[in-house]
Amino acid sequence: MKKTGLVLLLIVSGLLFFSGRAEAAKSAENYFSEGSSAFAQKNYRKAARQFEKALKLNPEDANAYYYLGNCYFYLGDMQKAEECLQKAVELDPELKGATEVLIAEMREKASEEIAAEKKWAISGRFGMEYDDNVVLNPSGVATAISDQEDWRGVFDLNLEYKAIKEPLELDTFYKFYQSWHQKLTDYNLQGHTVGLRGCVKKEPWRFRLQYSYNYYYLAKNEYLAIHSIIPTANFIQENKLTQFYYQFQNKDYLQSIPGATSQDAGNNIFGINQYFFFKNNGYLKVGYSYEDNDARGRNWDYGGHYLLLSGLCPLTENLKLKLGFIYNPIRYKNVDSVYNQKRKDYEMTYNLALTQKLNKSLNLSLGYTYIDDDSNIANCNYHRSIYSLRTEFSF
């Protein structure tokens, strides 16, 4: 009898043990199902609680860790999200691809949030250029053509301070540019720009107004002062951006001689750009603008069209190719006092740049630019190739 009781006790205990295991497994499945339902309804806090309960009962469930990581991501806890996603990959290596995408997105979002909190931004570039025909054109039109080749060092620095972020974005900026020529030191150019920029958001529009003042020195002598006002309207869609803009500039050439050859001018540009964005982070840009230059000297009165096509193509995760083309036919309005005919220019510019990302703050860029200016006045006709190697930085 004792033996029979003992056997019955063991059988009952075994049944209770296995039924408990079955109940635990069943409960883990139920919690996972409830978590999935809450996740689908975007109730991420409730979903996280259910996935956590499921994992207490079944700590080897890779899918539960994966969805729990997603919940933490949407709840803003990036550290816990990454820990859960890495655990999911340890348990099921087939989840590696999906988790890598999400972790990369998390890190990018975290970087953007850090950047958004920063009030100061610093960026720029420095490097070397080889120019087979050095030309002076800081304001867009060639004012001196050397017909000589030269090497030059170049340096750009941009400083930006975000004064206000909400509800009106307001920031100030300063830009510095310097070129140093090896032989043609008379073409050394230094530029200073200060400005103020404001932006208002009204979905799906962004309205921006910018004022800037540019001051240039040529070979250490005062050369050019420009006041610029640029209002812009951006219409943003899911994979597209349409940009409308107007630019007014008042150009004061500080070495200008009064008369027909004076380049001092009021300059107006009206334009539209269309951007198409792709899933690989590439884009295509198509643009058109019209320029009217009303100069004090009649030799420099002109109207011009700009047709622009450019694009960015990521070749690998860190290597990008950028291509660009600009067609700029210009018609001068008056008979030139020196050449006794109306000047007509057809300028085409081709750009190519390869950029390698070295780390989050540094890029290395190799570029080539070819400019073909076909003018009916022989002395204004020129071709130009520029080869560049630059380091770009941003902090």
How confident is the model over 147-196, as pLDDT tens digits?
999 999 999 999 999 988 878 899 999 999 999 999 999 999 999 999 99
- Rg, C-alpha atoms of the chain: 32
| Confidence bin at 126 (pLDDT 50/70/90) | very high
CB-CB contact of 232 with 244 (8 Å): yes
As beta bridge partners, residue 79 has none
Specify the domain boundaries for CATH 1.25.40.10 within the chain.
2-114
Global pTM reads 0.70
Tokens representing 178 are: 């310097």
DSSP, res 192: E
Count of beta carbons in the 10 Å neighbourhood of residue 263: 20
Instruction: Write 367-370 long-range contacts (CB < 8 A, 24+).
Output: none
Average pLDDT of span 218-244: 94
Tokens representing 302 are: 């002109």
Taking the C-alpha atoms of residue 216 and residue 223, their distance in angstroms, rounded to an integer, is 6
3-state DSSP assignment of residue 16: helix
Is the pLDDT score of 25 beyond 80? no
- Between residues 392 and 79, which one has the greater pLDDT? 392
| Confidence bin at 114 (pLDDT 50/70/90) | low
Instruction: Report the pLDDT value the prediction gives residue 156, as an integer from 0 to 100.
Output: 96
| Confidence bin at 20 (pLDDT 50/70/90) | very low
Q: Please name which of 246, 266, 308 lies closest in space to residue 139, comparing C-alpha atoms.
A: 266
**Superfamily for domain range 2-114:** Tetratricopeptide repeat domain (1.25.40.10)
Average pLDDT of span 307-319: 94
Between strands 302-314 and 283-295, the pairing is antiparallel
Where does the chain show beta strands of DSSP type E? 120-131, 135-136, 144-145, 150-164, 169-181, 189-202, 205-218, 221-236, 240-253, 265-277, 283-295, 302-314, 319-335, 342-357, 362-375, 382-394
Instruction: Give CATH for domain 120-394.
Output: 2.40.160.40
| Confidence bin at 27 (pLDDT 50/70/90) | confident
CB-CB contact of 323 with 330 (8 Å): no
pLDDT tens sequence across 326-358 = 999 999 999 999 999 999 999 999 999 999 999
CB-CB contact of 368 with 385 (8 Å): yes
Instruction: Report the pLDDT value the prediction gives residue 52, as an integer from 0 to 100.
Output: 92
Specify the domain boundaries for CATH 2.40.160.40 within the chain.
120-394
Is the pLDDT score of 274 beyond 50? yes
